[in-house]
Amino acid sequence: MSRVKVFRIIKPGLFTTVQDLGRCGLQRYGVPVSGAMDAFSMIAANLLVLNQSGYACLEITLLGPELEVLNNTQIAITGADLSPTLNGQSLTMWRTLNVSKGGIISFGETRAGCRAYLAVAGGINVPVVLGSRSTFVRGVFGGYEGRPLKTWDVIEASEPPSHFKAKLSMPEDLIPHYENKLTVNVVLGPQADVFTDKGIETFLSSTYTVTTEADRMGYRLEGPVIEHKVSPSIISDAIPPGAVQVPGDGLPIIMMVDAQTTGGYAKIAVVTTPDLSRLGQVKPNDTVCFSGISMGQARLRLLEYRKILRLMETRVLQG
Amino acid sequence: MCEPAKYLPVGDKALLVEFGNAIEITINRKVLALCNAVLRSKPLGVEECIPTYRSLLIYYDPWKVKYEQLVFQIKGIEQRLDELVSQMKRRTVTVPTVYGGVYGPDLSYVAEYHYLTEEEVIRIHSEKEYVVYMIGFIAGFPYLEQVADEISTPRLETPRLKVPAGSVGIAEKQTGIYSMESPGGWRLIGRTPLKIFDPSWPQPALLRPGDKVRFKPISGEEFEAIKNAVLRNTYSPVIKEE
């Protein structure tokens, strides 16, 4: 497949990485899933430039980069509203955008959410490592040389099969709105029995604030202390993304997509898959509440979420 | 007969199968046997298995299989578990290790802490074979069987900012090998020239759960020779299959 240079990084922004939908089947080798923190927005961005849903995009965190466009192409920006502009003119998010060689894409203030996704027609072309183009910064592999982007990096895209014919936009009612308060659904367990009834009650009824220790590995939360029966430790076992672990200080940590694959703190609950995408848009000082649902309810919601993804595809492509 | 496994839902797309609540070889063997059998028979909807000390996390696609159906299928495999455990093969992996000096700056501390000579610490550490219980953390870190009490040593009070990949350390009763360069607080007693983790390998971790690890003391010259061969991809680790 031929490749084309699409962007030169003028300023990298706070933390801009290449991500796709992550690594599958490798957690048993100690390889985290990685991939987009907000998979929903990334899938949407890809759809809007007629990419397959798993093509690699830029994940842009809070302070966006400044990019010089090196060749005419089509892009789409979804997720957090970080005030994107092209040559100083504000850009509309959630739709196909044509950008021309020499143009400058930049970002301004954070209006809503935490992470924006920039898809480019054909998908970002970086080497596939362990089945994915996602950057795992702590492991120094994947994405662009295993690291966040720097000034002077040049980003290449694969040549898209069809030449820039997309002219798509997301129906208004499917665009998520990000607030500073989020309630996420969780399924209690697998180690809810390590906590007292009072501890579980505290967890499900309190409002927690996201601290500044919040990144792709996990979010430390602040709020009412969750009571353990005896000890917060368990025999180390697998940590799925979305697991809420509670160490000895009684304050929950939500494990995100770059979290270590195993660990020894009890997990009081696990966030459901659709809500994990929503959590990807949470930033320090936002608040999170946890709502307990049964595994059966969680399954129905997951199936519903998949239907929405399919519906989104149909509606976007039909215009 | 021992008690049956516990089946627990994890979020909206995973099932945890727990065998007891202890770090024990017999329990770990059951986890690994179940993991192998599930990966081999690939029940409908199963996507990924993660074996740990005493439990197996199974990811599945709820679109293809319901939790209850999957539990039923896995229980079917659990029926045959004793037989599967008895059929399991074990590998022994020799991990050449240079002890002490710049490679293991805490060897002298560990010796003094226990009123032993450095040679005694090396002997005690290298004469035992360590079972790999699981692979995890980040980048293929092997969780090994415990060291003899005689050399169990507390962690550093202040972790080092940079520990080289391949460093062999002790933290209380644990021993392990740093799979990549990272910060760390383990007492470093040696270093292996082997690559423990390499993302360019299709199976990126050298060690597998269930393997036995034997640390073989080598000299600094041997370390450099093996290291060069590893870099040129001409070194094959010594792996004995049972």
Give the pLDDT of chain B (242 residues) as one tens digit per residue: 467 899 999 999 999 999 999 999 999 999 999 999 999 999 999 999 999 999 999 999 999 999 999 999 999 999 999 999 999 999 999 999 999 999 999 999 999 999 999 999 999 999 999 999 999 988 889 999 999 999 999 999 888 989 999 999 999 998 999 999 988 889 999 999 999 999 999 899 999 999 999 999 999 999 999 999 999 999 999 999 98
Q: Which fold has domain B6-87?
A: Gyrase A; domain 2 (3.30.1360)
| Span A192-200, average pLDDT | 97
**DSSP β-bridge partners for residue A37:** none
- Report how far residue A91's alpha carbon sits from residue B67's, in angstroms, rounded to the nearest whole number: 45
Q: Tell me what pLDDT residue A128 has.
A: 97
Answer whether A25 sits within 8 Å of B197, measured CB to CB: no
> Over 80: is that where the pLDDT of A162 sits?
no
Give span(s): CATH 2.40.100.10, chain B: 91-241
Write down the pTM of the prediction.
0.94
Q: Is B134 on the interface with A (CB under 8 A)?
A: yes
- Report how far residue B156's alpha carbon sits from residue B188's, in angstroms, rounded to the nearest whole number: 10
> Over 70: is that where the pLDDT of A55 sits?
yes
Q: Tell me what pLDDT residue A1 has.
A: 66
Q: Is B47 on the interface with A (CB under 8 A)?
A: yes
> Over 60: is that where the pLDDT of A167 sits?
yes
Task: Please tell me the distance in Å from A262's CA to the nearest CA on chain B.
Answer: 5
Closest in A24, A27, A273 to B12, CB measured = A273
Answer whether B57 sits within 8 Å of A237, measured CB to CB: yes
| Span A282-295, average pLDDT | 97
CA B35 to chain centre: 15
- Report how far residue A59's alpha carbon sits from residue A258's, in angstroms, rounded to the nearest whole number: 14
- Are A77 and A93 contacting, i.e. CB atoms less than 8 angstroms apart? yes
Q: Tell me what pLDDT residue B1 has.
A: 46
Domain boundaries, chain A: 3-170, 181-306
Q: Tell me what pLDDT residue A159 has.
A: 86
> Over 70: is that where the pLDDT of A119 sits?
yes
Closest in A24, A30, A242 to B11, CB measured = A242
Give A56-68 pLDDT, tens digit per residue: 999 999 999 999 9
Cβ-Cβ contacts under 8 Å, B197 against chain A: 30
> Over 70: is that where the pLDDT of A2 sits?
yes
Q: Tell me what pLDDT residue A18 has.
A: 98
Element (H, E) at A303: helix A295-318
Type of residue at B97: T
Cβ-Cβ contacts under 8 Å, A236 against chain B: 52-53, 134, 136, 143
Answer whether A299 sits within 8 Å of B52, measured CB to CB: no
Q: Is B39 on the interface with A (CB under 8 A)?
A: no
Q: Is A35 on the interface with B (CB under 8 A)?
A: no
Closest in B12, B21, B179 to A187, CB measured = B12
Answer whether B47 sits within 8 Å of A25, measured CB to CB: yes
Answer whether A139 sits within 8 Å of B180, measured CB to CB: yes
Give span(s): CATH 3.30.1360.40, chain B: 6-87
Answer whether B12 sits within 8 Å of A302, measured CB to CB: yes
Model confidence at A199, in pLDDT bands (50, 70, 90)? Answer: very high
Q: Is A177 on the interface with B (CB under 8 A)?
A: no
Q: Tell me what pLDDT residue A166 has.
A: 84
Q: Is B171 on the interface with A (CB under 8 A)?
A: no
Cβ-Cβ contacts under 8 Å, B35 against chain A: 28
Give chain A's mean pLDDT: 96
Task: Please tell me the distance in Å from A190's CA to the nearest CA on chain B.
Answer: 6
Chain A, nearest residue to B36 by Cα: A28
Helix, strand or coil for residue A280?
coil
Q: Tell me what pLDDT residue B138 has.
A: 86
Answer whether B9 sits within 8 Å of A189, measured CB to CB: yes
Q: Is B12 on the interface with A (CB under 8 A)?
A: yes
Answer whether B21 sits within 8 Å of A24, measured CB to CB: no
Q: Tell me what pLDDT residue B2 has.
A: 63
Model confidence at A161, in pLDDT bands (50, 70, 90)? Answer: confident
Cβ-Cβ contacts under 8 Å, A25 against chain B: 47-48
Q: Tell me what pLDDT residue A81 has.
A: 98
CATH 2.40.100.10 fits A181-306, yes or no: yes
Closest in A190, A261, A295 to B12, CB measured = A295
Cβ-Cβ contacts under 8 Å, B62 against chain A: 299, 302-303
Q: Is B178 on the interface with A (CB under 8 A)?
A: no
Closest in B11, B22, B50 to A28, CB measured = B50
Superfamily grouping for domain B91-241: Cyclophilin-like (2.40.100.10)
Q: Is B204 on the interface with A (CB under 8 A)?
A: yes
Question: DSSP letters along chain B, please?
Answer: -PPPPEEEEETTTEEEEE--SS--HHHHHHHHHHHHHHHHH--TTEEEEEE-SSEEEEEE-TTT--HHHHHHHHHHHHHTHHHHHHH---EEEEEEEEESTTT-TTHHHHHHHTT--HHHHHHHHHHSEEEEEEEETTTTEEEEPPPPGGG-BPPPSS-EEEE-TTEEEEEBTEEEE-SSSEEE-SEEEEE--S-SB-TTSSS-BSS-TT-EEEEEEE-HHHHHHHHHHHHTT-----EEE-
